Amino acid sequence: MGVFVDVVTIFPSYFEVLDLSLLGKARRDGALELTVHDLRDFTNDRHRTVDETPYGGGPGMLMQPGPWGAALDHVRASRGADDPLLVVPSPAGERFTQRLAEAWAAENWLVFACGRYEGIDTRVAEDAAARFRVREVSLGDYVLNGGEVAALAVIEAVGRLLPGVVGNEDSLTDESHVDGLLEAPAYTKPAGWRGRAVPEVLLSGHHGAIARWRRDASLRRTAGVRPDLIEHLEPGQLDARDLEVLRESGWTVADGRFRPTPGPVAD
């Protein structure tokens, strides 16, 4: 049996894209069982209102707790006594990472609460914590118009890790962020294109040399664009050549951590 995913939103049609491609196949195969709920179905007024002005003043509107409480009660009661994880996308959440995607791919039941406007009345998550494990997550340091696009990203990142969803399981281990580094540049045919040659080593058939070239390129690329990832590497996990490449890229080991080399970079 696969993972259950429930989504609560005022825009159910955002989730129609999950009929497509790999995730669509995962659903047809039963690896991912998705149910989308319209928050407005849990309102009681003629206009199906979900928003109100914030107490204390300030710009914009908030989502009222009433419809959210009813919707989450309904979702919680819709299945047996599993242990659902309630995921609430928010710019104020903890960062969503590949590590969380891997952990959540082992869950039985994920529920997504997609806020709009300036967010959801704070009491909704407090109240839900009695019935769900609640995680507020952010995709990154930018603001979206609602949680739907963030929920789609999380569902895709988790869904592609479910057993049997990605055809070639090996493709899941060699990619960016799986080992804390960015992936090396990649090339396909033709070997020459617009005067640009594919690096010779990749045509050599020497698997050891290719793996080392990719490792070097991965370390250099990560050092160049994501110094925050280098700071999180464990120097003891790296080999002597890794350390040499990082030293050439301006990183020194001090107190068991990578630090930018002080002063001009030595050669």
Q: Which residues bind ligand JF5 (CB under 6 A)?
A: 89-91, 115, 119, 138-140, 142-144, 146-147, 150
How far apart CA 165 and CA 211 sit, in angstroms, is 26
Contact 123, 65 (CB under 8 A): yes
What type of residue sits at position 52?
Answer: E
List beta partners, residue 4.
33, 109
- Least Å distance, CB 170 to ligand JF5, is 30
Q: At what angle do helices 148-159 and 21-28 cross, to 10 degrees?
A: 70
Nearer to ligand JF5, 9 or 218 (CB): 9
Nearer to ligand JF5, 49 or 122 (CB): 122
Q: Which is nearest to 128 in space by CA: 79, 93, 76, 90? A: 76
- Least Å distance, CB 188 to ligand JF5, is 33
Q: Which is nearest to 156 in space by CA: 19, 10, 38? A: 19
Nearer to ligand JF5, 31 or 85 (CB): 85
DSSP string, 34-94: EEEEEGGGG--STT---EEPPTT--SS-EE-HHHHHHHHHHHHHTS-S--PEEEEEEEEEE
Contact 52, 61 (CB under 8 A): yes
Nearer to ligand JF5, 72 or 217 (CB): 72
How far apart CA 69 and CA 125 sit, in angstroms, is 9
- Least Å distance, CB 154 to ligand JF5, is 9
State whether residue 259 is helix, strand or coil.
strand
Contact 203, 191 (CB under 8 A): yes
- Least Å distance, CB 153 to ligand JF5, is 8
- Least Å distance, CB 101 to ligand JF5, is 14
- Least Å distance, CB 54 to ligand JF5, is 12
- Least Å distance, CB 13 to ligand JF5, is 17
Nearer to ligand JF5, 68 or 251 (CB): 68
Nearer to ligand JF5, 142 or 255 (CB): 142
- Least Å distance, CB 141 to ligand JF5, is 8
Strands 85-95 and 109-113, how do they pair?
parallel
Nearer to ligand JF5, 125 or 139 (CB): 139
Nearer to ligand JF5, 55 or 142 (CB): 142
How far apart CA 198 and CA 203 sit, in angstroms, is 8
